[in-house]
């Protein structure tokens, strides 16, 4: 395998660093985690999911930091939901926006999964979709691998012949599905991800391109587990997904990005009958809603939760943290918040099995999945403001 050393060093040079070494500029972890995020507080009017995203007041049981310092974000699996009603869930966005030059590291012990479940950790500009979207973690139903994507205005393409370990699903980032790359490294989503204790994603948002790396827990490198004040990306090897600037002018298509974490149910991707039935079996109209969302939801949503150790942002300096309009942050913001607690390596190893109603489920390979995607209709996988 060819070393990516020269590539990483180049990328760092271009973004202003003198080495492949970036400093911590924001640490989302521990008891103060949710102070740095805004809650949506409205029903899902963005992807037509069958959820109400609660406000912070009503989120105490769905968005909290557990005694071990893990960040839990989940779908309500205790309330009885009558027919025609929606189920409570969570959508949060960072108050911070980040410019090119940023590396986000997401350490998760568990991702939400199960029939009807559609979680994502992603980024977007203030003006969506004009200012771009980076989907770092996204999956639906009983998919067994993560799907990454960019969404942009016309003119941003995935390069051909890119050195990436994932499988590219299309070159035009302006189509409804975006320019997708499906993960081929094992255990990137679902029950398998949880059973190995999760893993880590690192996303480089840079003028030289956008690059996403993924390591399942056993493979997380020391450069990640030992990174506290700074992170050295020079030994990371080939990314899972790469969109180099050679075919996408990053500052042109991506404004400053804020992070988004959400879990919706059914809706424009998970709920499309052909998509839903691909892994959950029931092809009946509205099966996604009727088989899962209503009634007590207990079995269906036992795995519909994020368990995050931390999300950290690294950069040459904290000038990457800006206001929603991309302007400089004044009065002390932009300095790293040390919200403390959960450090790297803390892993619950959560693995609870039982992923919902899965009769007749078929596990699609990445290639078969891409074929199914290409044939499906709707605004597949496209998230929204
Ligand atoms: C932060 O880094 C940028 C890019 O190298 C540089 O232009 C800027 O002067 C630096 N700011 C501070 C406060 O060091
Ligand atoms: C990165 O920065 C840390 C802390 O300043 C330093 O110890 C380390 O040697 C640097 N690594 C590289 C590759 O420059
Ligand atoms: C969604 O609802 C919120 C709150 O009512 C509103 O501000 C926003 O404009 C709506 N978005 C869309 C896309 O309808
Ligand atoms: C939060 O949501 C609940 C339930 O919809 C509502 O009763 C309450 O007024 C909201 N609180 C705020 C501060 O918006
Ligand atoms: C939302 O919060 C308000 C205020 O705490 C409370 O009265 C109400 O019962 C909550 N509603 C739900 C649906 O959780
Ligand atoms: C990649 O190759 C396809 C097929 O030849 C071509 O249509 C597309 O324009 C190429 N993309 C880029 C970014 O060069
Ligand atoms: C509710 O959940 C329990 C398991 O806790 C299950 O036995 C029961 O059948 C469920 N009821 C409905 C109406 O789905
Ligand atoms: C509800 O979901 C949580 C995870 O968020 C899980 O630990 C719990 O077992 C579930 N409840 C039931 C009754 O299945």
183-216: pLDDT as tens digits: 999 999 999 999 999 999 999 999 999 999 999 9
User: Residue 239 falls within a domain, yes or no?
Assistant: yes
Please tell me the total count of domains within the chain.
Answer: 1
User: Residue 298 falls within a domain, yes or no?
Assistant: yes
The verdict on whether omega for the bond into residue 338 sits within 30 degrees of 0, i.e. cis, is: no
Grouping H, G, I as helix, E, B as strand and the rest as coil, residue 266 is coil
Domain boundaries, position 259: 5-375
User: Residue 380 falls within a domain, yes or no?
Assistant: no
Closest ligand 7 atom number to CA of residue 298: 2
State the angle between helix axes of 366-375 and 273-280 in degrees (0 to 180), rounded to the nearest 10.
Answer: 160
Grouping H, G, I as helix, E, B as strand and the rest as coil, residue 192 is helix
User: Residue 228's pLDDT band (boundaries 50, 70, 90)?
Assistant: confident
Query: Could you tell me the pTM of the whole model?
Result: 0.86
Mean pLDDT of the chain: 85
Per residue in 9-58, pLDDT (tens digit) is: 334 344 443 447 899 999 999 999 999 999 999 999 999 999 999 999 99
User: Residue 383 falls within a domain, yes or no?
Assistant: no
Contact 127, 115 (CB under 8 A): no
**Six token digits for residue 377:** 């209709």
Q: Which of 146-155, 184-193, 270-279, 369-378 has the lowest mean pLDDT?
A: 369-378
What percentage of the chain carries pLDDT values higher than 90? 78
Just list the catalytic residues.
133, 138
CATH number at residue 260: 2.60.120.200
User: Residue 125 falls within a domain, yes or no?
Assistant: yes
User: Residue 384 falls within a domain, yes or no?
Assistant: no
Grouping H, G, I as helix, E, B as strand and the rest as coil, residue 147 is strand
Nearest-CA residue for ligand 8 atom 8 is 302
Ligand in nearest proximity to the CA of 55: 4
Q: Which of 11-20, 185-194, 267-276, 349-358 has the lowest mean pLDDT?
A: 349-358
**Long-range contacts at 5-12 (CB < 8 A, ≥ 24 apart):** 5/234, 5/235, 7/163, 8/233, 8/234, 8/236, 9/234, 10/208, 11/204, 11/206, 11/208, 11/209, 11/211, 12/233, 12/234
- Torsion (CA) 40, 45, 298, 80 in degrees, nearest 10: 100
Top mutation candidate among 52, 57, 60 for ligand 4, by most atoms within 8 Å of CB: 57
Ligand in nearest proximity to the CA of 59: 5
298 lines ligand 8 (CB under 6 A): yes
Please say if the pLDDT value at position 372 is more than 80. no
User: Residue 317 falls within a domain, yes or no?
Assistant: yes
Rg value, the chain, Cα? 19
Please say if the pLDDT value at position 334 is more than 70. no
Contact 137, 121 (CB under 8 A): yes
Nearest-CA residue for ligand 4 atom 7 is 58
176 lines ligand 2 (CB under 6 A): no
User: Residue 382 falls within a domain, yes or no?
Assistant: no
Cα gap 248→152, rounded to integer Å: 10
74 lines ligand 8 (CB under 6 A): yes
């Amino acid at each position: 395998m060819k070393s990516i050393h020269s590539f990483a060093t180049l990328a760092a040079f271009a973004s202003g660093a003198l080495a492949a070494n970036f400093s911590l500029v924001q640490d989302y972890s521990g008891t103060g985690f949710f102070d740095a995020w805004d809650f949506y507080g409205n029903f899902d009017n963005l992807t037509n999911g069958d959820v109400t995203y609660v406000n912070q007041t009503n989120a105490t049981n769905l968005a909290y930091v557990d005694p071990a310092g893990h960040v839990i974000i989940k779908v309500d699996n205790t309330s009885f939901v009558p027919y025609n009603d929606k189920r409570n869930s969570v959508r949060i966005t960072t108050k911070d926006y980040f410019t090119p030059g940023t590396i986000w590291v997401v350490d998760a012990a568990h991702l939400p999964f199960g029939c009807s479940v559609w979680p994502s950790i992603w980024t977007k500009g203030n003006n969506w979709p004009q200012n771009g979207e980076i989907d770092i973690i996204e999956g639906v139903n009983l998919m067994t691998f993560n799907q990454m994507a960019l969404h942009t205005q016309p003119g941003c393409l995935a390069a051909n012949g890119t050195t990436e370990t994932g499988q590219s699903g299309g070159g035009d980032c302006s189509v409804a599905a975006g320019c997708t790359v499906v993960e081929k490294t094992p255990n990137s989503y679902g029950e398998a991800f949880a059973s190995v204790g999760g893993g880590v994603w690192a996303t480089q948002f840079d003028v030289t391109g956008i690059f996403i790396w993924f390591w399942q827990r056993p493979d997380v490198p020391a450069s990640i587990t030992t990174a506290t004040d700074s992170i050295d990306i020079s030994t990371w090897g080939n990314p899972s997904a790469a969109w180099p600037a050679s075919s996408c002018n990053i500052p042109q298509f991506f404004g400053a990005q804020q992070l988004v974490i959400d879990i919706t149910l059914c809706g424009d991707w998970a709920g499309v009958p052909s998509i839903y039935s691909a892994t959950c079996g029931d092809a009946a109209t509205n099966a996604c809603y009727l088989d899962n969302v209503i009634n007590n939801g207990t079995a269906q949503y036992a795995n519909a939760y994020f368990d995050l150790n931390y999300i950290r942002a690294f950069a040459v300096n904290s000038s990457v943290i800006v206001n929603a309009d991309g302007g400089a942050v004044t009065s002390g913001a932009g300095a790293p918040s040390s919200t403390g607690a959960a450090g790297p390596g803390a892993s619950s190893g959560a693995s609870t099995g039982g992923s919902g109603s899965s009769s007749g489920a078929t596990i699609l390979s990445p290639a078969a999945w891409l074929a199914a995607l290409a044939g499906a209709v709707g605004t597949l996988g496209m998230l929204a403001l």
